[in-house]
Amino acid sequence: MVPEIPELEAIRSFFNGTIRGSTIAAVETRIPPVFRTPAKELRETLPGDAFGEVLRHGKFLLFPLASARVLAINPMLTGRFQYLPASARLQAKTCLVVSFEATENQLRYADDRLMGKIYLVPAAALERIPNWATNGPDLLDPAFDEDTWLAAIKRYRGAIKNIITNAEFVQGIGNAYSDEILWEAQINPYTPRTKLSDDDLRALYRAARAVMEWATPLAAERMVRDGTLDYEERRDFLRVHRRGGAPCPRCGATISEITANQRITSFCRQCQPGGPSGALG
């Protein structure tokens, strides 16, 4: 499960209720490939520092520190955050373990495919993270309003799903929630952007914001239990993504599912008409 805005917002909120203000006692860097800052620097300089308010930018979770640095983690495809007692069994691919002075619980980051990226950078130098400065705004950035979305999306051509999952346009939308957004807006994922009206594109923006607001508390329910964070890969609340063969919850038609380039696209042909016929199989 690739974490997208709803999952990351749920994790961010959880950490702000648990580790905000906590002083770091020790750091273990167990599996080197995910560390884009030397692991030794994390082990030697993080103890004694303290976490501030946890933030999110796109698919990064940002852990600001009292030392005016930021621990930035992008979980990529299979990264997973945990907050568990130190006595809890470590997953095989646990890469990072942060222990605290005032609690026996630990912040852990595990990654089955070791594709995640962990950086420790000055708070004023986030642009040191590759593509930070060239990627688009976060979907939930208050400055990224409907008019800004409309002007920005017109710079892109091609299938609309490819555009809204392109981080150079907007950050935080991935494969799963793009299907939900397009279903909500009743737009076929394969429709070229140039075939969509301004009204369509504005409706897409509103759908994107609405889906994130709807999904975030549902994601949180499945990730947090009894003060711990140890979530399963559950998105059973989604209405269309990976529901191929099931009835559309809006019109009752059968949901179509197409796999191309290792990406599943799910949509309702009746609710979301259009798109080039060759792309729809």
pLDDT tens, residue by residue, 14-55: 999 999 999 999 999 999 999 999 999 999 999 999 999 999
Q: What is the pLDDT of residues 176-218, one digit of tens each?
A: 999 999 999 999 999 999 999 999 999 999 999 999 999 999 9
CA 174 to chain centre: 7
pTM equals 0.93
Is the pLDDT confidence value at 278 over 50? no
Extents of the domains making up the chain: 5-123, 146-280
Residues 6+ apart with CB under 8 A from 129: 36, 60, 72, 119, 121
Residue 275 has pLDDT above 80, yes or no: no
The two structure tokens encoding residue 117: 């990226």
pLDDT tens by residue, 101-113 = 999 999 999 999 9
Strand partners, 28: 97
- The chain-wide mean pLDDT, for the chain, equals 94
Task: Note the pLDDT of residue 280.
Answer: 40
The pLDDT, as a whole number, for residue 225 is: 79
Q: Tokens for 169?
A: 């346009």
**Mean per-residue pLDDT for 216-245?**
87
Confidence of residue 272 (pLDDT cuts 50, 70, 90): very high
Mean pLDDT computed over 153-164: 97
Q: How far apart are CA 194 and CA 159, in angstroms?
A: 9
How far is CA 14 from each of CA 133, 143, 229, 232, 261, rounded to the nearest angstrom? 28, 25, 8, 16, 34
The predicted pLDDT at position 223 comes to 86
Element (H, E) at 162: helix 160-164
DSSP 8-state assignment for residue 78: T
What share of the chain has pLDDT > 70, as a percent?
96
Sorting pLDDT into bands at 50, 70 and 90, what band is 222? confident
Instruction: Report the pLDDT value the prediction gives residue 84, as an integer from 0 to 100.
Output: 94
How buried is 153 (Cβ within 10 angstroms: 0-12 exposed, 13-18 middle, 19+ buried)? buried
In the chain, how many H helices and how many E strands?
6, 12
Rg (CA), the chain: 20
The topology (CATH level 3) of 146-280 is: Helicase, Ruva Protein; domain 3 (1.10.8)
Tokens of 104: 């026996």
pLDDT tens-digit map of 133-145: 999 999 999 999 9
Fold classification of 5-123 (topology level): N-terminal domain of MutM-like DNA repair proteins (3.20.190)
